[in-house]
């Protein structure tokens, strides 16, 4: 890296985008309720709200269906805590059997987990993959701030955190770079976009209901 820039490496051949998805078939309120029902911990609930925010930002940016992107973000990990060994297949199966969620959303949820080997051929799927790990890095960077205020987090600080592999070591840096590349967005621009999305969400944040059992 030179000049302080972070660039994705050209290692992955990007296929042409498939046609954009139809409406999700489930509204945001229904998806939110389903996520709360299946997700006991506040930390994972927060993660899915962060991913929803980033998905909404990109949907508006590309003039895609915002509800579809929001629902996909809210539900991508809803099965993880109770069915970690079957994630995300369990969740996709549940959605297919109990909701009218269309194939494009199901394929995006499957595709965000690289070990499923599900091709990410839609912009919806590529966006979910691109923002998933990155929102975790942003959240970790916020939590180490004395004020824990994401509105005060600057892009330069986030870039430094990304370059330090010891920070938020659970964040897969290779997948973060791959996600930006598949999305066709310069990595630094992608960082800025996701940070902006999460900052916007805080301004209009809704408090989470109490965690089940507490």
In a domain, 211, yes or no: no
Least confident of 10-19, 86-95, 189-198, 199-208: 10-19
Between the alpha carbon of residue 25 and those of residues 19, 68, 101, 103, 155, the distances in Å are: 17, 8, 5, 10, 36
- The count of structural domains within the chain is 1
Supply the mean pLDDT for the chain: 87
Domain that holds residue 83: 28-203
H-only helix segments in 23-111: 28-38, 42-62, 66-75, 89-98, 103-111
14: closest CA among 98, 130, 138?
A: 130
Is it the case that residue 32 has pLDDT exceeding 90?
yes
In a domain, 2, yes or no: no
In a domain, 17, yes or no: no
Per-residue pLDDT tens over the stretch 141-177:
999 999 888 999 999 999 999 999 999 999 999 999 9
Percent helix, strand and coil across the chain, each to the nearest 5: 60, 0, 40
DSSP state for residue 12 in the 8-state scheme: S
In a domain, 163, yes or no: yes
The per-residue pLDDT for 4 is 42
CATH number at residue 112: 1.10.3210
In a domain, 40, yes or no: yes
pLDDT tier, 213 (very low <50, low <70, confident <90, very high otherwise): very low
Q: For 27-51, what is the mean pLDDT?
A: 94
The per-residue pLDDT for 207 is 53
In a domain, 68, yes or no: yes
In a domain, 5, yes or no: no
In a domain, 10, yes or no: no
Place of tokens 């900052």: 199
The per-residue pLDDT for 202 is 78
Which burial class, exposed, middle or buried, applies to 139 when counting CB atoms under 10 A from its CB (0-12, 13-18, 19+)?
A: middle
């Amino acid at each position: 890296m030179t000049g302080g820039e972070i660039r994705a490496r050209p290692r992955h051949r990007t296929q042409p985008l498939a046609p954009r998805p139809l409406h999700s078939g489930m509204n945001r309120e229904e998806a939110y309720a389903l996520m709360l029902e299946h997700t006991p911990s506040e930390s994972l609930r927060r993660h899915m709200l962060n991913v929803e925010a980033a998905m909404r930002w990109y949907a508006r940016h590309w003039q895609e269906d915002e509800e579809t992107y929001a629902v996909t973000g809210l539900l991508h990990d809803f099965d993880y805590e109770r069915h970690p060994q079957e994630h995300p297949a369990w969740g996709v199966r549940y959605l297919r059997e109990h909701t009218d969620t269309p194939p494009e959303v199901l394929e995006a949820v499957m595709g965000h987990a690289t070990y499923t080997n599900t091709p990410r051929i839609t912009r919806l799927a590529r966006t979910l993959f691109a923002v998933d790990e990155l929102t975790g890095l942003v959240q970790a960077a916020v939590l180490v701030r004395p004020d824990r205020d994401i509105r005060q987090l600057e892009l330069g600080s986030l870039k430094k955190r990304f370059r330090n592999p010891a920070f938020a070591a659970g964040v897969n840096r290779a997948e973060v770079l791959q996600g930006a590349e598949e999305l066709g967005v310069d990595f630094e621009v992608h960082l800025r976009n996701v940070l902006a999305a999460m900052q916007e969400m805080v301004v209009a944040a809704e408090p989470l209901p109490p965690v089940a059992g507490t």
